[in-house]
Amino acid sequence: MQAARLRSAGQMSAEEVERPRAGPGEVIVRVEAAGICGSDRHMFRGEYPTALPVTLGHEFCGIVEELGEGVFMLRPGDRVTADPNIACGHCAACRQGRVNLCANLEAIGVTRDGGFAEYVRVPQGQAIVLPRDLDPVLGAFSEPLACCLHGLDVAQIKPGDSVAVLGGGVIGLIMVQLARLAGARTVVLSTRQAPRRLLAERLGATHTVDPTEGDAVEAIRAISGGGVDVALECAGVPETFAQSLAAARKGGAAVLFGVMAQGRQVAVEPFDLLVREIRLEAAYLNPHTHGRAATMIASGQLDLLPLVSRTVGIESVPDELAGDPRQGDVKVMVRPAG
Ligand code: NAP
């Protein structure tokens, strides 16, 4: 089968590899759609640790085709999404229920072969059944949505809150919708590309800001009357991290969601955080939220198809990851041929 494999930082190719077989408790899923995520680019560049070589692709949806011994939760023909993050269940963090902080965490598409391939091996406990008639492209949004739901849980947005979202990629555009669903009265998105700002306004942002047109923090403060209750950092760059801290009102929260390259340092002013009592939080991965995400997608609560800019084949994945996102792209979907 064809698979897009990362061999070392910056070295990736679409190759013919052996089709995986289901071991005990596992299923083989025929991939129908897999999303390219900002984190895949971090992995391609060596900025986020992976096993090597590995087939990337951790956001996917497909059809169960083969059952391993002892599989009782799934049937051939089920359309599934997979929670890619596999916790050990034994370490101290797992025992506290904090599975995203597992000391032995493995992940499909990161440390195990993933969904930029025709077939992928999935432990049955990681698969979540979706409706048979659901568009698989929507199913492939389950993973990013699950991560955003954790971000929302950490942020504790309350009805009537004001929220700033910094970075209008797919994550930021999902966060805008979730913040409105959580009851935020004001949702400001700051992102540089105009089409994304327009899309965000269609999806529920009450205001948008172009950070190249002036001081984004001043603009957010002016809109929100002095600072937002919650600022969500969704770009993964030092500038937006600093903006999230500054845009939060006194007593407000800044949530770090974007992935900055491992080892990257940024300056903060502890005095300022102290005297404004900023609640600085981080939200990582999707602990116990993948099922909720699948349910939301099946119920059509979110508008996700407008986020899909282009569909490509597996052979295009290396070039897609080698470059920066194309101007205008939000989510690029990979759909294996056949
Ligand atoms: P993305 O498509 O790269 O979107 C981020 C966007 O932020 C950029 O495309 C860019 O859009 C915008 N941006 C960059 N610099 C900016 C600036 N100075 N001011 C305002 N906007 C700026 O990535 P994504 O898929 O949406 O993911 C966002 C981040 O979340 C990534 O770092 C990803 O790795 C991370 N992530 C974290 C988790 C988690 O569990 N915490 C899960 C999934 C993803 P413009 O060109 O329009 O400015």
- pLDDT value, residue 164: 98
Q: CB burial class (10 A; 0-12, 13-18, 19+) of residue 26?
A: buried
- pLDDT value, residue 338: 62
How far, in Å, from the CA of 304 to the mean position of ligand 1?
A: 17
- pLDDT value, residue 327: 87
- pLDDT value, residue 262: 83
Q: What's the one-letter identity of residue 161? A: D
- pLDDT value, residue 313: 98
Give the rounded percent of residues in the chain with a pLDDT score beyond 70: 100
Ligand 1 neighbour 101 (Cβ under 6 A)? no
Give dist(CA 80, CA 111) in Å, integer.
Answer: 20
| Residues with pLDDT less than 70, the chain | 338
The answer to whether the bond into 53 is cis (omega within 30° of 0) is yes
- pLDDT value, residue 60: 98
Range(s) within the chain of domains with CATH label 3.40.50.720: 148-282
What's phi and psi for 45, nearest 5 deg? Answer: -85, -5
Question: Domain 2-141+304-334 adopts which CATH fold?
Answer: Quinone Oxidoreductase; Chain A, domain 1 (3.90.180)
Ligand 1 neighbour 209 (Cβ under 6 A)? no
Q: What is the mean pLDDT of the chain?
A: 97
- pLDDT value, residue 319: 97
Give dist(CA 120, CA 111) in Å, integer.
Answer: 13
Give dist(CA 138, CA 34) in Å, integer.
Answer: 10
Q: Find the Cα–Cα–Cα–Cα dihedral 46, 49, 51, 55, rounded to 10°.
A: -60
Domain covering 148-282: architecture:
3-Layer(aba) Sandwich (3.40)
The pTM score is: 0.97
Identify the bridge partners of residue 28 per DSSP, sorted by sequence position.
66, 121
If one residue of 110, 191, 240, 331 were mutated to test the ligand 1 pocket, choosing by the most ligand atoms within 8 A of its CB, it would be: 191
pLDDT tens digits, 87-123: 999 999 999 999 999 999 999 999 999 999 999 999 9
How far, in Å, from the CA of 320 to the mean position of ligand 1?
A: 16
How far, in Å, from the CA of 331 to the mean position of ligand 1?
A: 11
- pLDDT value, residue 261: 82
Q: In what order do the strands lie in the sheet with 2-8?
A: 11-16, 2-8, 54-55
Please state the atom number of ligand 1 nearest to the C-alpha of residue 236.
Answer: 32
How far, in Å, from the CA of 237 to the mean position of ligand 1?
A: 8
- pLDDT value, residue 195: 95
Which residue lies with its CA nearest to atom 10 of ligand 1? 167
If one residue of 149, 256, 257, 327 were mutated to test the ligand 1 pocket, choosing by the most ligand atoms within 8 A of its CB, it would be: 257
Range(s) within the chain of domains with CATH label 3.90.180.10: 2-141+304-334
Give dist(CA 294, CA 5) in Å, integer.
Answer: 27
